[in-house]
Structure 1
C-alpha cells in the first residue's frame, strides 16, 4: 500500500500515536507555561513583565517559522522535519529547565518554539498520508480533538505539576516522553518523497521579519506600549509585508501559500478560520475577568466555568468526524458559525443578567459551534491543496489559528485598556461581529459550490 493510500494497520496506529504525543507536547508548552510565570519570575529574580517574554518568545518563533518550515518539509520530507523538530524541542526543553538567567531562558524558549513549529507545521500533511482518503476526514477531526484537549488541559496539567514539583519539571517532563516517542516517529511515520523544489531563503527571511513585526506590534498594542512605538512597529510590518508579498508573487514556488490562496475554497476557509479564532481569543482573555472580578468567583470556579468551551469543541469534533464527507465544509462550517454567533450573543445576555448558568451554557454552545466548524474547515484547506503543497496547507491552517488567537487576545487587552465602560461586554460584542463575518465567509463557499 502506498503512502498516498494511507498506512496499513497497526503501523497507522503507531503513526497516530507519534503525531498525538508530538502535538500534545508542542501545544501544552505554548499554553501551560503561563501558569508558571510568577514562579519563574521569582526564581530568576526578574519582573513579571519581563518574564512574559518566556511565553512571547515561544509564540513569536512558532508563528514566524510556520511557512518556512512548511517549505522545508516539502523540500526535505515531512517525516524528516517532524523528527528533527522533536529533537530540537526536547533539547531546548532541557536547556529551559536548567536556565539560571532570563536571557538564556528566552533564547532556549525561542529554539523550543522552532522545534514546536516544525512539529505543528507538518502534522496535518503527515495525516494526509497516514489515513486513507476515505478516512481523511476522521483523521483531521481526531487531530482537531487532540489540539482542543491539549489547549484545555495545558493549564490544568501545569498547575498539577506545580503543586508537587518546581517549575523546571514543566520542561523536564518532555525529556522522557520525547525520548520514547522519537523512535516511534522515525519507524512509524510515512516517508513522503521530497520534491525537487528550490527552497526560497530570501522569501523565508522576509516572511519571518514581516510576520514577526506584525505579531510584535499586536502584542505591544495589547500591553499598552506608547503610540510612537506602535506606529514604528506598524510601519515596519507594513513595509516588510509589502516587500514580502511582491517577492512571493514573483516566486515560482512561494514560501507563503499565496498560490493556495488563489484557490477560492482555501482562501475563504482561511478567512473563516481567522475570524473564528479571533472570537476564541477575545472570549478566552476577557471572560475570566468578568467571572473573577465582576462575579467575584474563586479561581477554581472560573477554571471549571471556562472548561465549557473546550468540552463543547471535543464533543462537536467527534460529531464532525462522522459528518465530513457526507456534507460540505461550507454547510457544516456555516452551521457551526451560526451557533458561534448565537452563543456569543447569549454570552452578552448572560453578562447583563449576571447569570453563571446562562454564561456556562452559552460558552458550551460557542465551543460546540466552533468544533463543528473547525474540522470541516481544516479538511477544506488540506484536501483542496495539491499533495505536493500539503505542508504549506498545514502551515496555512496553523497560521490562521495563531494569527486569529493573537489578534483576539491583543484586541481584548486593548479594549480593556481603552474602554471606559464594561470592558468584557465590549470585547464580546466585537466577538459577535467577527463570528458573523466568519459565518459570511463560510456561507460564500456554498455559493461557489
Structure 2
C-alpha cells in the first residue's frame, strides 16, 4: 500500500491523484501569497531582460567594447540555468519559503551593489550574485504555487504566473528605456527592487510546508552546475567566434561530466537532477515538449528583428510588430490555465502547437514587402499558440510529481524554460552567423521544433501514459480512504 505522498499517479483532471493534493491556502491569505509570488516572478524576469537596453550606455561609461558588455546578460542566464536544480534540492531540505525569501534578499542586496560598479569585472560579479538570488526564487516558485492554490485551480494559478512572466518580459525593455531617459544606468537594475520589497513584505502569507530531513548532495549539485555551465558556455563561445577546437572541447567536457552525473543520480532517493521524475513518461514527454517549444519561440523572437530590419522596418516599427505576441499570450495563457483544470493537457497542447505550426509557416512565407498588419496578425497567432500550450504543460509536470518532490518538479520547469531559451538564442545566433538568420529559415526551424512539441503533447493521450495502472489504483484508493 502506498502512502498518499508517495503516489505516482499523474494529476490529470479527474484522476485519483487529485484526492491527495492540498486544498491550498484559505482566503484572504491566498491572495497575499499570490501577490508575493507574482512580484517575485516579475522582479526576476524584468531584471533578466532589462539590461539589454542599457548595454550601449554601460559600455560607453565603463570604457569597454560592445562585444564584452554582452557578458552582463549571458552571465546572468548561465548562472540561472546552472543553479536552478541545485537550489530546488536545497529548497526541499531547508524549506520552500525560506529558500524563496532568502533568494529575494540576496537579489536585493546585489542590486544595491550595482551603484558601486565602476568596472566591468565588478559588475559581472554583481550580476552573478543577482542570478544566485534569482535562482533561489525561481527554483521553488512553482512548488509554492502548488501549495497556494487548491488542486482544482492549479492550472489557473500557473496560467496567471505565465501571464506575469510574459508581461514582465514584454515590459522590461520599455521600463529600461524610460529609466535611462531620466537616470544613470545603475537605476535600470534598481527598477526591479520595489518588486522584491513588496514580495518580501507579503512573504509572511506564503505556505511553509515542512522541509525534508535530508542532507544536500553537494557533490551532485556541483556536478549539475558544471554540466550546464560547460555545455552552454562552450556553445556560446563557439557562436561568438572563439576557437572551434576550444569551444568543442568545453562542450565535450560538459557532456562527459553530464554522463557521469546522470549515472550517479540514477537510484538516488532524492536526486538533484530529477531522473526519478523524468523516468515517468508523462513528465519526460512534457519536459521534451517544453524544451522544444521554448527553443522555437526564442529562435523566432531573436531572429525576427533582423529579418524585419532587412525589410526596411525601423526599430519602433519592429517593436510594434512583435508586441502582439506577448499581448495575445497574456489573454490566452490564463484561459488555457483555467481549461487545463478540466481538459487533458495533451489535447490543449496539441491544439496549441497546431496553431503555432500554422503561424510559423505563415511567417516563413510572408510577402517580400509585408505591411505591419501582415506581420502583426501572424505574431498574434504565434502568441496564442504558445499561450495555449505552455500553462497546461507546466501544470502537468508540477501536478504529476509527488508532493515531496514538488520543488524538484518546479525546478525542472524553470530549468527547461531557460535552457530552451538559451538554446534558441544560440541557434538564432548561429543561423545569423551562417548568413541565413534574416530570412525564412528561422521560422521554418522553429516550425520543426513546434511539430516535435505537438507530437509529445499528443503522445500523452495514450492510455498507458496518461492513466495509472490497475495495480496503482488498487494500492492508492485504500490509502486515500484511510486519510479521510
Cα separation, 2, equivalents of 1:415 and 1:280: 15
Greater Rg, structure 1 or structure 2? 2
Cα separation, 2, equivalents of 1:218 and 1:338: 30
Q: Are residues 36 and 201 of structure 1, via their aligned partners in 2, closer, same or farther at CA, if it must alter by over 3 Å?
A: same
Cα separation, 2, equivalents of 1:321 and 1:340: 17
- Is it true that 1:307 corresponds to 2:323 in the alignment? yes
Cα separation, 2, equivalents of 1:87 and 1:51: 26
Equivalent residue, structure 1, for 2:111? 93
Deviations 1:421-442, CA, capped at 9 Å, x for gaps: 5643111111111111111111
Deviations 1:92-138, CA, capped at 9 Å, x for gaps: 00112321111110001001001011111111100111111121111
Equivalent residue, structure 1, for 2:452? 437
Cα separation, 2, equivalents of 1:345 and 1:23: 32
- Is it true that 1:384 corresponds to 2:400 in the alignment? yes
Equivalent residue, structure 1, for 2:202? 184
For the aligned residue pairs, the C-alpha RMSD in angstroms reads 1.5
Cα separation, 2, equivalents of 1:125 and 1:175: 23
**Shift in Å, 1:184:** 1.4
- Is it true that 1:337 corresponds to 2:353 in the alignment? yes
Cα separation, 2, equivalents of 1:238 and 1:228: 15
- Is it true that 1:162 corresponds to 2:183 in the alignment? no
**Shift in Å, 1:226:** 2.2
User: CA contact under 8 A between 1:3 and 1:130: conserved in structure 2?
Assistant: no
User: CA contact under 8 A between 1:276 and 1:434: conserved in structure 2?
Assistant: yes
Equivalent residue, structure 2, for 1:262? 279
Deviates more, 1:312-321 or 1:380-389: 312-321
Equivalent residue, structure 1, for 2:270? 253
**Shift in Å, 1:183:** 2.5
82, 85, 102: which one aligns with 1:84: 102
User: CA contact under 8 A between 1:350 and 1:356: conserved in structure 2?
Assistant: no
Deviations 1:167-199, CA, capped at 9 Å, x for gaps: 1111223444423431211x1111110011331
Equivalent residue, structure 2, for 1:124? 142
Paired residue secondary structure (1:5):
coil
Equivalent residue, structure 2, for 1:196? 213
User: CA contact under 8 A between 2:36 and 2:198: conserved in structure 1?
Assistant: no
Equivalent residue, structure 2, for 1:113? 131
Cα separation, 2, equivalents of 1:406 and 1:112: 18
Cα separation, 2, equivalents of 1:424 and 1:225: 25
- Is it true that 1:72 corresponds to 2:87 in the alignment? no
Q: Would you tell me which structure has more helix in proportion to its own residues?
A: 1
**Shift in Å, 1:5:** 1.9
TM-score (norm 1): 0.96
43, 68, 77: which one aligns with 1:50: 68
Q: Are residues 422 and 91 of structure 1, via their aligned partners in 2, closer, same or farther at CA, if it must alter by over 3 Å?
A: closer
Equivalent residue, structure 1, for 2:478? none
258, 273, 284: which one aligns with 1:241: 258
147, 152, 155: which one aligns with 1:137: 155
User: CA contact under 8 A between 2:97 and 2:206: conserved in structure 1?
Assistant: yes
> Can you give the 5+ residue segments of structure 1 that lack an aligned partner in the other structure?
none
Deviations 1:1-32, CA, capped at 9 Å, x for gaps: x9932111111111111111111010011111
Cα separation, 2, equivalents of 1:263 and 1:181: 34
Cα separation, 2, equivalents of 1:264 and 1:244: 21
Cα separation, 1, equivalents of 2:132 and 2:148: 24
Cα separation, 2, equivalents of 1:174 and 1:307: 21
> Can you give the 5+ residue segments of structure 2 that lack an aligned partner in the other structure?
1-19, 467-484
- Is it true that 1:412 corresponds to 2:428 in the alignment? yes
User: CA contact under 8 A between 1:3 and 1:190: conserved in structure 2?
Assistant: no
**Shift in Å, 1:272:** 0.4
Deviates more, 1:339-348 or 1:195-204: 195-204
Paired residue secondary structure (2:449):
helix
